[in-house]
Structure 1
Amino acid sequence: MASSFVLSSILAAVIGLVTYGIPWFLAECFPVQLLWKQRNGQPTVRTASYAGRTALVTGANGAYGSRAATLFAQNGVSTLILADVFDCTAVKEKIEADLRAQNKTVPTILVWQIDMMTFAGCQKLLQLLKDNSKTVKYLDHVLLTAGILAFNRRESPEGWETTLQVNYFSTALIALLLLPCLEASPGNPNPPVLTFVTSFGIYPAGPTMGLPSSPEQSYLKRLSNNKDGLAQGHQYGRSKGLLLYFARELSARVAAAGTKVTIISADPGSAWTPLTNPNQSKLIPRLIMNISARDPIYGAAALVNGASAPATANGQILHDFDTASYPPFMNRLSGRRAQKRVWDETRREFEGKVPEVAAVYAKLEKK
């Protein structure tokens, strides 16, 4: 009798796991269909010509940023701005040499070095834009690819864990600072586009992104005050989750304020790059990458397409040629509350350290 009860309990548990547990896990933490679709996707750049337009790419020395910059140039962009903490002169020279070898027009290419580990470094990008206003008359496409993957916890000079500093805070600040500068060139039929880079890593990090139990406790500080090990392993996904919250809120406020700018989040998929190569030594990350990784040129094309999206795509997530839904935890009431906390706490941090951003926030509140 007892053994029958045990067997029945085990069977019920197995049925429950198969019926509810595994589908929940796949939907919330590991949407394998999404990975597989991206692995087999081979997007190409949709826009026939970027003639007369200006594109700015952060992280332009990286695997995706350098390839995205190259694609803009190969498709006729007139002015190209390469921004990175590293000197992108070699990227510039390769783009120019390849275009000359193909008898194509070489754009004006500006190389700017900025340190996104500090807010002052982000402000430098805005100052460079102002200093080069005679060359950069329009700003059609901003593609924010800059990011880091840190396996050991460190703090930035601003007091935030470095992954959150670069991937979230500095990227969000650059977006706000550049927002008033975005203006479509005369030959561009669409409003200018500001594009954030999102990631599959948000899904496994999702269960760790719940709000603190106390409303007085800072949500951002709780995520930043992590420890090495598993918690640090989730920081990349957390940083991208925060950025996706910010992007969704920003897109809604831009639309409400009547600002003619399109805010997009684009997912390049997975690829083995200098950023992800350390995962070769880690079993689970390596297996995930082997399921999903593709040539980074396809991810770069997906990002360029995202940065060229029409106004109707405002607030959407773009995967290759398709739109994708937000992660389930973001669409729940708790996710909406977290988004509001992210926006409000980020605003307090920025306005306390970067006074000129207050004017941008004020404009976003006008309806």
Structure 2
Amino acid sequence: MANTFLIGTIAAAVISFVTLVIPWFLSEYFPVQLLWKQRNGQPTVRTASYAGRTALVTGANGAYGSRAATLFAQHGIATLVLVDVQDCAAVQQKIEVELRAKGKPVPTILVWQIDMMTFAGCQKLAKLASTLETLDHALLTAGILAFNRRESPEGWETSVQVNFLSTALVALLLLPRLKASPGNPEPPVLTFVTSFGIYPSSFTMGLPPPSSTKSYLRKMSTNRDGLEQGHQYGRSKGLLLYFARELAARTARLDRPVTITSADPGSAWTPLTNPNQSKLIPRLIMNISARDPIYGAAALVNGASAPASANGQILHDFDTAAYPPFMNRRSGRRAQERVWDEARKEFEAKVPEVAAVYAMLPDEE
């Protein structure tokens, strides 16, 4: 009788684990169905023509940025702005040669070399962008994957600096520059790049204790090498996604509409991710989900071409995706407020002109 009871208890525990714990764990930290869907997805650019429009791509020397810029050009963009810490002349030349070989019109291509490791670099980008008559699509792909902890000249861990703070600052400074071209029927779009890496990193993204006065951003930045640094890319992208959602909520109340989206390109083996080839678990995850980066670039271009109804959404290959579960909890909403407020304090202390941008954004209702 005792053996029967013990066996029944073990069986119930196993069933509960399989039916409750595993699905919960996957939804929180490893959405394998999402990864598999992206692996097999082959999106193409939905917009037939970008004639007369202007698109700006940061990280334009990267695997996704260079391909996204090429896709914009192949679909008739009038002015293409290539932004990167490295000179994008080779990307420009490749685009021009390919278009001429196909007998397609060559856009006006501007090459801006910007270092987003500093706020001064972001200010330089904004100053250059002020010369543009219109800006229909801003696609912010610039990012780094740092395996060892280092600090930027601004005093932040480099992933937090480039992937979150500098990208968020660029978005704010570009906001007044976003203006649709006369032939564009939709509001201008600013698109952040998000990542699956947020999910497994989320368990290291908790707020400081209520009794603590420590800055949340400093907590995310004062990490150590090892497990925390291994998750730093996902953590920095999580901070950016919080910021993007808050920015979208505020721009939704502007008199002049602007669409804010976050697009997920999925996974690909690129110069950014190739170091993971030597790491067992990251390599296994990448092998489950990796695809040709041209498909991720198409997903990003579509994200940066989304209609006004997509404001605040996360866009995947063919549809929208929910925010990670931890972001929708009360603690996630508090974290979002902290991210917004602390980033604002940092920006206004070091970049005086950003105050005018914050002034144009409605306060939270």
Say yes or no: TM over 0.5.
yes
Deviation at 1:215, TM superposition (A): 4.6
SS of 2:309's partner is helix
Match among 334, 345, 348 for residue 345 of structure 2: 348
Question: Which residue identity is paired with 1:320?
Answer: D
Query: Distance in 2 between the 1:32 and 1:152 partners?
Result: 27
CA distance in 2, matches of 1:249, 1:35: 26
Of 149, 165, 168, which residue of structure 1 is paired with 2:164?
Answer: 168
For residues 345 and 70 of structure 1, what CA distance do their matches in structure 2 show? 36
- Shift of residue 256, structure 1, vs aligned partner: 1.9
Counterpart Cα distance in 2 of 1:64 and 1:215 = 40
CA distance in 2, matches of 1:5, 1:123: 69
Q: Deviations over 1:300-331 (max 9, x none)?
A: 00000000000011000100121111001101
Deviation, 1:39, is: 0.5
Letter in 2 for 1:65: G
- Aligned residue number for residue 194 of structure 1: 190
Q: How does 1:65-144 map to 2 (within 5 A)?
A: 65-130=65-130, 133=131, 136-144=132-140
Q: Distance in 1 between matches of 2:166 and 2:15?
A: 46
| SS of corresponding position for 2:270 | coil
Matching of residue 357 in structure 1 with residue 354 in structure 2: yes
- Helix, strand or coil at the partner of 2:170: helix
Asked if residue 281 in structure 1 is aligned to residue 278 in structure 2, the reply is: yes
Match of 2:39 in 1: 39
Task: Name 1:55's counterpart in structure 2.
Answer: 55
What is the correspondence of 1:237-256 to structure 2 with a 5 Å cutoff?
237-256=234-253
Q: Which amino acid aligns with 1:170?
A: S
Unaligned runs of 5+ in 1: none
Partner residue in 2 for 1:236: 233
Q: Which residue identity lines up with residue 23 of structure 2 in the other structure?
A: P
Which stretches in structure 2 are left out of the alignment for 5+ residues?
none
Q: Could you tell me which amino acid in structure 1 is paired with residue 293 of structure 2? A: P
Give the C-alpha shift of residue 5 in structure 1.
7.0
Q: Equivalents in 2 of 1:3, 1:152: separation in Å?
A: 53
Q: Percent identity?
A: 79
Describe the superposition over 1:98-138 as per-residue Cα deviations: whole angstroms up to 9, x where unpaired. Answer: 001111100000000000100001101011223xx2xx210
- Which residue does 1:205 correspond to in 2? 201
**SS in structure 1 opposite 2:191?**
strand
CA distances 1:193-220 after superposition (whole Å, capped 9, x unpaired):
0000000001101111111103512111
Cα deviation, residue 260, structure 1: 1.1
Distance in 2, Cα, partners of 1:129 & 1:266:
22
For residue 117 of structure 2, what is the amino acid of its counterpart?
M
1:195-344 superposed matches below 5 A? 195-213=191-209, 214-344=211-341
Q: Indicate the SS of the match to 1:56.
A: strand
**What residue identity is the alignment partner of 2:276?**
N
Deviation at 1:4, TM superposition (A): 6.9
Aligned residues: 363
The aligned amino acid for 2:226 is G
Partner of 1:16: 16
1:16 Cα offset (Å): 3.0
State the distance in 1 between where 2:8 and 2:150 align.
50
Q: Tell me, in whole angstroms, the C-alpha distance in 2 between the residues paired with 1:68 and 1:219.
A: 33
Counterpart-to-counterpart distance in 2, 1:100 and 1:257: 41
SS in 2 for 1:365: coil
- What is the DSSP-based 3-state SS (H/G/I as helix, E as strand, rest coil) of the residue aligned with 1:257? coil
In structure 2, what is the Cα distance between the partners aligned to 1:16 and 1:360?
51
TM-score (norm 1): 0.96
- What RMSD in Å do the two structures reach over aligned CA positions? 1.4
TM-aligned CA deviation for residue 259 of structure 1: 3.4
What is the Cα deviation at residue 192 of structure 1? Answer: 0.3
In structure 2, the CA distance between the partners of 1:283 and 1:106, relative to structure 1 (3 Å rule), is same
Letter of the 1:310 counterpart: P
**Stretch of structure 1 that moved more, 104-113 or 214-223:** 214-223
Quote the residue 1:145 is aligned against. 141
